[in-house]
A and B are shown apart, each in its own frame.
Chain A
Amino acid sequence: MDRRSARRRIYRDRHLYLLLTPVLIYFFIWHYIPIWGARIAFQDVKYIGENTWAGLKHFRILFSSPVFFRVFMNTITISAMKIFFFFPLPILLAFLLNEITSSGLRKGVQSIIYLPHFLSWVVIAGIFISLLQSPDGALNQLLGLFGIAPVAFMTSTSHIRWVFVGSEIWRSIGWDSILYIAAINNISLELYDAATVDGATKLQQALKITLPCILPTIITVFILNMGFFMNAGFDQVFNMMNDAVINHVDIIDTYVYRIGLGKGNFSLGTAAGLFKGVIGLVLILSTDRLSRKVTGEGVW
Chain B
Amino acid sequence: MKKYLALAAVLLAAATLTAGGAQEVPAETAVPVIRIVSKDVSESNAWDKAHLENITEGFIEYIGEEVVLEFVEMPEGAYAEKLNLMLLGGDIPDLIYFQGGDEAISQQGILEDLRPYVAASSVMQKALMDFNRERMENYPYLLWIAPPRARTAVVREDWFVEAGGKIPQTVDEYYTLFAAIKKNHPGVPVLTDTGNTDRMDYTFDLAFGNIATWFEENGSLVYKGVSQAQKDKLAFYQRLYAEGILDNDYITTKWDTMEDKLYTGKAAMVFGTAGIVLDIYDNKLKQTQDTGLVALPPAQGVAQGYPVSSAKETRGWAVSALSEHKDLTFKLLEYLATDEGQFLERYGLEGIHHTVSDGKVNLTEESGNWWPRFHEVMAWDAPTPLLGPAGQKGWDFILKYAVGDPDFPIPEELSPTWDALGNLQKEYTYKIISGEYSIDKFDEFVTEWYALGGDKVTAYARTVL
Interface positions of A (Cβ within 8 A of B): 45-48, 61, 64-68, 129, 133-136, 154-155, 242-247, 250, 255, 258-259, 261-266
Contact = CB atoms under 8 A, between A and B. Distances in A.
Interface-centre pick from B90, B92, B427 (highest chain A CB count, 10 A): B427
Given A129-B252, A155-B251, A243-B251, 9 more contacts: A48-B92, A66-B417, A67-B452, A243-B195, A243-B427, A246-B423, A263-B415, A264-B103, A264-B104
A263 B103 contact: yes
Interface in B16-30: none
A244 B419 CA distance: 15
Given A47-B108, A129-B252, A247-B423, A66 B429 contact: no
B441 interface: no
B322 interface: yes
A65 B103 contact: no
B103 to A, nearest CB: 6
Contacts, number: 95
Interface string B313-357: 000000000100000000000000000000000000000000000
B100 A263 contact: yes
Nearest to A261: B81
20 contacts: A47-B110, A48-B322, A64-B416, A67-B420, A135-B248, A242-B195, A242-B430, A243-B195, A243-B196, A243-B251, A243-B430, A244-B251, A244-B434, A246-B423, A246-B427, A247-B427, A262-B101, A263-B104, A266-B84, A266-B88
Given A155-B434, A242-B252, A243-B195, A263 B424 contact: no
Which has the most chain A C-beta neighbours within 10 Å: B108, B196, B416, B427? B416
Interface of B: 80-81, 84, 87-88, 90, 92, 100-105, 108, 110, 195-196, 248-249, 251-252, 322, 412, 415-417, 419-420, 423-424, 426-427, 429-431, 434, 452-453
Contact of A155 (B196, B252, B415, B423): B252
A258 B430 contact: no
B415 A259 contact: yes
A262 B412 CA distance: 13
Contact of B105 (A61, A129, A262, A264): A264
Contacts of A266: 84, 88
B104 A154 contact: no
A294 to B, nearest CB: 41
B87 A47 contact: yes
B429 A243 contact: yes
A135 B429 CA distance: 21
B204 to A, nearest CB: 18
A247 B448 CA distance: 14
A258 B103 CA distance: 14
A194 B412 CA distance: 70
B158 to A, nearest CB: 24
Contact of A247 (B100, B196, B424): B424
Contacts of A135: 248
B251 A242 contact: yes
Contact of A47 (B80, B92, B248): B92
Contacts of B415: 259, 263
A262 B251 contact: no
A114 B415 CA distance: 42
Nearest to B83: A264
Contact of B88 (A45, A64, A243, A250): A45
Q: Which of B103, B249, B453 has the most CB of A within 10 A?
A: B249
Contacts of B426: 243-244, 246
A137 to B, nearest CB: 9
Nearest to B256: A126
Contacts of B429: 243
A66 B430 contact: no
B300 to A, nearest CB: 28
Most chain A CB atoms below 10 A, which of B104, B251, B412: B104
A67 B425 CA distance: 13
A258 B101 CA distance: 10
A136 B249 CA distance: 9
Contacts of B100: 262-263
Contacts of B420: 65-67
Contacts of B252: 129, 133, 154-155, 242
Contacts of A264: 80, 84, 101-105
Interface centre among B90, B92, B252, B427 (most CB of A within 10 A): B252
A218 to B, nearest CB: 36
A65 B110 contact: no
Contacts of B88: 45, 47, 266
B104 A66 contact: no
A47 B80 CA distance: 15
A243 B225 CA distance: 15
The 9 closest A-B pairs by CB, nearest first: A65-B416, A264-B104, A243-B426, A264-B101, A67-B420, A244-B430, A264-B84, A66-B420, A243-B430
A134 B434 CA distance: 12
A261 B417 CA distance: 17
Contacts of B424: 247
A263 B419 CA distance: 12
B259 to A, nearest CB: 15
Nearest to B456: A66
Contacts of A155: 251-252, 430, 434
A68 B415 CA distance: 13
Nearest to B420: A67
A134 B248 contact: yes
B403 to A, nearest CB: 26
Contacts of B196: 243
A65 B251 contact: no
**Which one of A48, A136, A250, A258 has the greatest number of beta carbons of chain B within 10 Å?**
A48
A245 B423 CA distance: 9
B187 to A, nearest CB: 11
A124 to B, nearest CB: 14
B425 to A, nearest CB: 9
Which of A47, A242, A258 gathers the greatest number of chain B CB atoms within 10 Å? A47
A61 B416 contact: yes
A46 B108 contact: yes
Contacts of B417: 65-66
A136 B189 CA distance: 13
Which one of B110, B417, B419 has the greatest number of beta carbons of chain A within 10 Å?
A: B419
Contact of A265 (B104, B427, B452): B104
Nearest to A129: B252
A173 B100 CA distance: 37
A261 B429 CA distance: 27
Nearest to A133: B249
B201 to A, nearest CB: 13
